[in-house]
Amino acid sequence: MKRGHQVTMKEIAKKLNVSVSTVSRALKDSPELHPETKLKVVEMAKSMNYQPNLLAQSLRISRSKVLGVIVPELTSHFFSSNISGIQDTAYKRGYNVMICQSNESYVQEISNIKVLVASQVDGLLISLSRETKNYQHLQDLYDRGIPFIMFDRVTEEIPVSRVTVDDANGAYQVTKHLLEQGCKKVAFISGPQDLYISKKRKEGFLKALEEFGISETESRVYISDLKEDTNRRIAKQILEEEDRADAIFAMIDPLAIDVMLVLKEHGVRIPEDIALAGFTNNPTSSVVEPSLTTVVQPGYEMGKIAANHLLDQLDEIVSDDPQSFILDTTLIARNSTIKRK
């Protein structure tokens, strides 16, 4: 169910080349404005068929001034960076934040949403759990008109705004780097296939292989639930294969660290025997031996953008039409993939 576009005060302001606050005051018949200015704003609003968002007006009167945040895990460096960006932005705009973690559980994610909605938060910022494959709970939120946007772990099935990094290009850069080091047989260990980031990172991995003349049918893709025992089992499986990979690209750094430990346990030299790279630039990635090649994601910036956009929607500065914000990533080449000679 897609909501029709609603003209916002920001669009009226742009047409008249005035500020959003001027439009807001004119529509409230503020005595502070010149009558001619008020008349221009009102006439423009009528011509653009501006309809005040009555739900938003009601919320403004009785706002809790609290945003709800749901992340898969609080211990993750990346998600803690997201939360910092959200909290700093919310605080500057007069809001507090309630934080829940789903513990990568679909059931817990639904419970978190119910708790936050019952607490009357003004809007939600949601990063999906790795178990989430059914999105009816999000559709229900949308249908009820409860403002929310998604970040990092998202779905394209619900027409709300999303803030992500360029996962495909980040994975492309990692894979290209490994191939440029002379690696011929690059394995990719992905997360659950339904995850948006899994799909995008696989997309970038395959694009780099194609550029180097390696077809998708020749690609080496392994699927993990991202739990330590599964990660270790896949690493051992790769080592036992007759035509063994000479490089491994792990979808996230914690997965890469699990793989690194298995390689070391089996006497495999990194990168001489097998090069290894991750994605997310966790704090441990620079201090493990060898230091891990990875991709930097702007987690703090992602949180800031997500919070600002949600608050702009609540204030009707922007429309609630879905927007997609895609942030750039940066490859950091370290000792785990040093150039071979």
pLDDT given at position 63: 76
* 192 preceded by a cis bond (ω within 30 of 0): no
Q: Shortest CA distance to 197 belongs to which of 156, 161, 163, 167?
A: 167
pLDDT given at position 1: 35
pLDDT given at position 2: 44
DSSP-assigned beta bridge partners for residue 327: 165
**pLDDT < 70 positions in the chain:** 1-5, 52-62, 339-341
With a CB cutoff of 8 Å and minimum separation 6, the contacts of 54 are none
In the chain, the amino acid numbered 14 is K
For the entire predicted model, the pTM comes to 0.79
pLDDT given at position 339: 64
Domains along the sequence of the chain with CATH: 9-52 (1.10.260.40), 65-165+298-327 (3.40.50.2300), 167-297 (3.40.50.2300)
Separation between Cα atoms, residue 236 and residue 230, nearest integer Å: 10
Separation between Cα atoms, residue 257 and residue 232, nearest integer Å: 10
Separation between Cα atoms, residue 183 and residue 34, nearest integer Å: 70
pLDDT given at position 241: 95
187: left (phi over 0), alpha (psi -120 to 50) or beta: beta
Q: Which tens digits make up the pLDDT trace of 242-296?
A: 999 999 999 999 999 999 999 999 999 999 999 999 999 999 999 999 999 999 9
Q: Which tens digits make up the pLDDT trace of 145-155?
A: 889 999 999 99
pLDDT given at position 71: 97
Separation between Cα atoms, residue 323 and residue 91, nearest integer Å: 23
